[in-house]
Structure 1
């Protein structure tokens, strides 16, 4: 295992010992944890054969996909895992799960007290989700109450319509202009509708980015989950998106007997780390400046248009008043005669 992978893994879950028991969710062809060096079992939504057969990403090497040990399908995860584990790791998985709240709760159920969940999460500002809105509490609550097992039609449509390829450097430099991608988005609407219609008429699993985050929006969302009593974790660490990267890392810990206050305090501490990380989110300032400049231009344009509308309205009012005046009516024959003479000349 290379140094880069080790460092990233350590940032996500610490340093798993060979005696620690863990799970890796959705490893596909690039697991972070390797047997037999780690006592790990691989978890996915379907058996290995189906995972291999359903791959559409050309970057995934089918022959390297690891064997799935635990299928997390319609049954609760704890019923298939057995004894509690020391850690769970999931890299670029959380955004795909249909029921975000239920997923987190079920993982907490299989962790021992003090156990950790390590997450690598795409930062939407630097991925193909850049044009999409961040996910909201109401969307997560709806999926939780419905016990969603597959991406919703809205999520599939949103991914298909707005999931456009972007240049990472351009995004970091604040040069990503959503308005410049408008025609591309419009060209994707019809195929997106056709896909959603097909899934509505013949329901089946269609992968999508169900959830869209920035580090800040993730913290806001889990704070709202905690307020509802639906976030069974403390935030042990949050590493903001590093310059030139497209993901942020989060380490969650299942508390033993921690109070709700401790959970909220851990969220605030993570928010403070996010706000005080110099240069970690470099590019954000440039992006905000560019956005502010675009907003200024748009406001000036709207102001000019509104001023033009007011002037046109004023002229129309003056013309209407003039046409209704007595002098206008008296001089009407003279204006008519003038038009006749001009045509004859």
Structure 2
């Protein structure tokens, strides 16, 4: 379902504009997952239905004291996951509208407790050649900058355990290592620029206690980069745990925090080859190469400074020789009466 024409959105947000670059949402019927108060695809721009945790009234109530949510902008939710007695799975909640030609989720895939199950649930409500469009924060440029990368083993363990809420591991990692961040500085100077922890140990412990009681503690369960995410999807395919393949990926733009990816069902059955190195190893090598380059620059500047100091020393010696010469003494003696005359004129 290649993009043929731009979806018509009045005054689109930068995020909506970027996601529209990689997919044509005006083609077919779609499902936007977790729009809250900022759906990326408006109803008047495409044939779209909305799925969220609760219906509009419950979302309105639960965000009563949330200054980051414009409650009046929350749309009608076609498929609430809460049915009044329990939280249904995504495929249960959206079954009445399936199959969809595409699904869209912005800043959702990092929150889901069981990634494998979540991908499978979306498979269940999309067409055999359907697409899943994701907007994903890159851990390197967010409050996750000090967190290690997600491993396939962690994803498999969550699936084996059947996690339906973020695990104790995820809740701890999310809260204990979250740092204040400036995306621009992180892009240009790396993770050392994010130094201040957002949550203290006491707050982290309180969230851990909630997690131990089985409560849903919203967390970034998984951390991705625009290089690690495609490999995670590929490895899940190798393991026979998903039918999704990466069709298109728009890397993180300069000074931004997120990348954009289109997953597709029913692509080539050929499995991608394993990369030679994990993305975090490649990143470490790149950092080493950058350090080596900067050391060369520093050494070159030291050589230049040494040469300039040597040149300056020679010039000073020439000045000292000149000051000791008869010519300098004669010029000084001749200039003295003129200097005294100038001083008298000033008086």
TM over 0.5: yes
Counterpart pick for 2:21 among 11, 35, 47: 11
In 2, the alpha carbon distance for the partners of 1:143 and 1:68 equals 29
Structure-to-structure mapping, 1:225-244, within 5 angstroms: 225-244=236-255
Tell me if the contact between 1:235 and 1:252 (Cα under 8 Å) persists in the aligned partners: yes
Tell me if the contact between 1:94 and 1:100 (Cα under 8 Å) persists in the aligned partners: yes
Counterpart pick for 1:192 among 200, 204, 208: 204
Partner of 1:68: 77
In 2, the alpha carbon distance for the partners of 1:192 and 1:116 equals 37
Partner of 2:159: 144
Flag structure 2 segments of 5+ consecutive residues without an equivalent. Answer: 1-8, 82-86, 296-347
Q: Which has the higher contact order (CA 8 A, sep 6+)?
A: 1
Counterpart pick for 1:116 among 122, 126, 131: 131
Structure-to-structure mapping, 1:323-342, within 5 angstroms: none
SS at 1:116's partner residue? strand
In 2, the alpha carbon distance for the partners of 1:291 and 1:74 equals 53
Farther off after superposition, 225-234 or 54-63: 54-63
Change beyond 3 A, Cα 1:293–1:225: farther
Change beyond 3 A, Cα 1:120–1:52: same
Alignment RMSD (CA, Å): 3.2
Tell me if the contact between 1:24 and 1:31 (Cα under 8 Å) persists in the aligned partners: yes
Alpha-carbon shift at residue 247 of structure 1 (Å)? 0.4
Alpha-carbon shift at residue 216 of structure 1 (Å)? 1.5
Tell me if the contact between 2:142 and 2:257 (Cα under 8 Å) persists in the aligned partners: yes
In 2, the alpha carbon distance for the partners of 1:165 and 1:53 equals 29
| Largest Rg, 1 or 2 | 2
* Count of residues in correspondence between the two structures: 273
- Answer 1 or 2: which has greater helix percent: 1
Question: What do residues 108-148 of structure 1 show as CA deviations (whole Å, max 9, x unaligned)?
Answer: 12111221110010001000111111111121112212222
Question: What do residues 50-107 of structure 1 show as CA deviations (whole Å, max 9, x unaligned)?
Answer: 3334446532212212222112333451563333111101111111111111111111
Matched, 1:214 2:232: no
Structure-to-structure mapping, 1:39-118, within 5 angstroms: 39-55=47-63, 57-72=66-81, 73-75=87-89, 77=91, 80-82=94-96, 83-118=98-133
Partner of 2:312: none
TM-score by length of 2: 0.70
In 2, the alpha carbon distance for the partners of 1:186 and 1:252 equals 33
Question: What do residues 156-187 of structure 1 show as CA deviations (whole Å, max 9, x unaligned)?
Answer: 12111111111111101115417x73xx4497
Flag structure 1 segments of 5+ consecutive residues without an equivalent. Answer: 276-280, 295-345
Tell me if the contact between 2:207 and 2:217 (Cα under 8 Å) persists in the aligned partners: no
